[in-house]
Amino acid sequence: MNQKDNQSISACIRESMEAYFRDLDGEPPSNVYEMVVNCVEKPMLDAVLRYAGGNQTRAAEILGINRNTLRKKLKDHGLG
C-alpha cells in the first residue's frame, strides 16, 4: 500500500468518526474502540480473503497475522 492509499483510509475513518460524534446529539459515546474495530475488521478480512482467492494461509500472510487468528476472526464475523 502506498502512502496515498494509507492517507485515504485514514481520512475516511477520521471523517466517519467526526460524523459519528456530531450525530450523537448530546448522547455520551461508549465502546468506540470496539465499534470501530468491528466496523473496519469485517470488510477488511472479506476483501483480503477475496484477494487471496479464498486461501486463508495466504490471507493471513497478507494481514501479518497467524492463520489460526485469522480463522477465529473469520468465524467471529460470520465469514468462515
Which value, to the nearest 10 degrees, does the dihedral of the CA atoms of residues 51, 55, 57, 62 take? 0
Q: pLDDT tens digits, residue range 22-67?
A: 999 999 999 999 999 989 999 999 999 999 999 999 999 999 999 9
What's the CA gap between 45 and 74, in Å, rounded? Answer: 7
N- to C-terminal Cα separation, the chain: 26
Which residue reads 489460526 in cell numbers? 68
Query: Residue 78's pLDDT is what?
Result: 94
- Per-domain residue ranges of the chain: 1-30, 31-80
The grid cell for 10 is 485514514
Query: In this predicted model, which residue has the larger pLDDT, 6 or 44?
Result: 44
CATH code assigned to 31-80: 1.10.10.60
Query: Residue 3's pLDDT is what?
Result: 65
